[in-house]
Amino acid sequence: MIEIRDLRYRTLHIDYIDIPEGITTIIGKNGSGKTTLLRLCAGITVPESGTILIDRTPPRQTTTGWVNEFPDRNMLFSKVYDEISSPLRFGHVAPDTADCEVRNIANRSGISHLLSRRVYDLSGGEKVLVALAAALATHPKILILDEYDSHLDREHCDRIEHLLRDSGCDYILRCTQQMETAAGSDTILMFDEGKLVHAGHPADVFSYLKETGYYPFSWRVRL
């Protein structure tokens, strides 16, 4: 369980919330606090007050994978193989073990054919897949995705959705503007002006949003 209590950071105010295991999607308009919450849960930012515990452990003591909204900002190395292997190298994993992990996650991600390519020659969707593979290479407890799908077509989104479900991460936190993506989550959190306004299963949250642009188009057509 991710437990958030009395959290304050700038305009973000959360009195309390418990986030279960699985895929949790954060939605809301720009400036509502989505990315701020992700950064706090990743330990990139420290709250001004309050606590975040991931299975009773602070974020900075938890193994975390992070994928930035802008693909180029995820990349540290020029070659795909080096990029995916970088968190393993930084963690002092033995070379043979690291190589096995890189090839395994590349195969699961469907990007084995990219391992010898230059990162900056890839498409936006391919860069996101490489960043995601790098984030998953160390088998993190929590994976955090900041509007990773803003540069992806539906085919890439579907591929990533299958990969996330098969990732083995206890917690996946993501924010998105794609309500079709959000609809496939286990839990949805909706924020407005730094405050949590809805939380729960997608069917429950979207039941309050039928007359808004946040209602999934496929659900609207079905109705």
Q: Is 12 exposed, middle or buried (0-12, 13-18, 19+ CB in 10 A)?
A: buried
DSSP letter for 119, please: G
Q: What's the alpha-carbon Rg for the chain, to the nearest Å?
A: 18
Averaged over 48-52, what is the pLDDT? 96
Give 26 or 212, the one with higher predicted confidence: 26
In angstroms, the CA 185 to CA 93 distance is 33
Is pLDDT above 60 for 218? yes
Exposure on the CB side of residue 221, measured as CA atoms within 13 A: 4
Distance of alpha carbon 81 from its chain centroid, rounded?
Answer: 22
**Sign of the dihedral defined by the CA atoms of residues 48, 49, 50, 51, in that order:** positive
Is pLDDT above 60 for 190? yes
Global confidence as pTM: 0.91
pLDDT in the model for residue 55: 96
Averaged over 14-40, what is the pLDDT? 94
**Sign of the dihedral defined by the CA atoms of residues 208, 202, 130, 171, in that order:** positive
Is pLDDT above 70 for 223? no
Give 141-171 pLDDT, tens digit per residue.
999 999 888 777 777 788 888 889 888 899 9
In angstroms, the CA 194 to CA 214 distance is 17
Is pLDDT above 90 for 109? no
Averaged over 127-143, what is the pLDDT? 93
Is pLDDT above 90 for 123? no
Strands (E), 118-165: 142-146
Averaged over 190-215, what is the pLDDT? 93
Element (H, E) at 50: strand 49-54
Domains contained in the chain, CATH given: 1-61+143-223 (3.40.50.300), 64-139 (no CATH)
Percent of the chain with pLDDT over 90: 68
Task: Give residue 43's pLDDT band: very low, low, confident or very high (50, 70, 90).
Answer: very high
pLDDT in the model for residue 188: 97
DSSP letter for 63, please: -
Mean pLDDT of the chain: 91
Is pLDDT above 90 for 19? yes
Exposure on the CB side of residue 138, measured as CA atoms within 13 A: 22
Q: How many CB atoms lie within 10 A of CB 181?
A: 22
Task: Please report where in the chains the tokens 């693909």 appear, as a residue.
Answer: 71
Is pLDDT above 80 for 115? yes
Averaged over 11-31, what is the pLDDT? 94
